[in-house]
Amino acid sequence: MSNYPKVILTEEGMRDGLQIEHPDIPVADKIRLLDALSETGLKEIAVGSFVSPRWVPQMACIDELVRGFHPKPGVTYTATALNEMGRERLRQYIPPLSDEKYQAQTAVYLCDVFAQRNINRTIAQQMARWPKAIEEAKAKGAKAAGIGISASWGSNWTGEVTQADRMTMLERQYRLWEEAGIPVAKVSISDPMGWNMPDQVERQLMAIKERWPSIKSFNLHLHNTRGMALTSSYVCLKVLNATDTLLLQPAIAAWEVVLLRQWPVRGLAPRKI
């Protein structure tokens, strides 16, 4: 077991899980779920997203949720913010929330259609912001940076993404950080439409390790749309080693929220098998 990477799990059910459920789930039930998750031993939990309720009504209660839950010492609580307005809202709740995930990083979607639907920006607009992000990181004295891509293996609108395309976008970001004198230590690869396949994940991680040995932190956000996320996660354990850190984002089943309303106890409801 000594040659496996360190694994860090971020529970994403409160964000990635609930954002596709009915928006009328009472905030009190969401708070109960979040408090219950805090008691499970998890070290990092995503509580939701600071986004427009017009586009994501499931997150309309995020402010009330953050004000109402009971943070547990030793647990890091994060939230997603897709633009400066969202990040400003997030900063109002630090603590208990953490903004570490937004420090010293650049990223880009590899599907223009998904990018415009998800964050209302084109690929070109995202890339245009890279220099500003790097300047902000330099001003804050960043010692290391992260690079990232999303819709990494494929898009439901534009089809499969090649490894050459992924490496090109990562290379462009890496060079900008390198020119700024800030080493790149982390890479994030997100797959929100679930196109990941284990063999492709393996080849991609091997290519990154060979091209940029300084990268030791690998964030893989894998959706299970095609039933491959668990196998792809296992492949990550095989490819990475004890000098690496692997970050994964599992999500509790969203129907647990409904079950919680049936058992008036603190903690997760029993599962039905």
Domains of the chain: 1-102+245-273 (3.20.20.70), 103-240 (3.20.20.70)
- 8 Å CB contact between 219 and 148: yes
Looking up tokens 């049936």 gives 262
pTM: 0.82
Tens of pLDDT, residue by residue over 229-255, are 999 999 999 999 999 999 998 888 544
In DSSP terms, which residues pair with 189 in a beta bridge? 149, 220
Q: Which residue has the higher pLDDT, 185 or 260?
A: 185
Tens of pLDDT, residue by residue over 127-162, are 999 999 999 999 989 999 999 999 999 999 999 999
* Backbone angles phi and psi of 165, in degrees to 5: -65, -40
- 8 Å CB contact between 99 and 87: yes
- 8 Å CB contact between 195 and 221: no
d(CA 120, CA 113) in angstroms, rounded, equals 9
**The pair of three-digit structure tokens given for residue 86, joined into one six-digit string:** 């969202």
- List own/partner pairs for 169-178 with CB under 8 A and 24 or more apart: 169/108, 169/110, 170/208, 171/211, 172/127, 173/106, 173/107, 173/108, 173/130, 173/147, 173/148, 174/147, 174/212, 176/106, 176/130, 176/131, 176/134, 177/106, 177/134, 177/145, 177/147
Mean pLDDT of the chain: 86
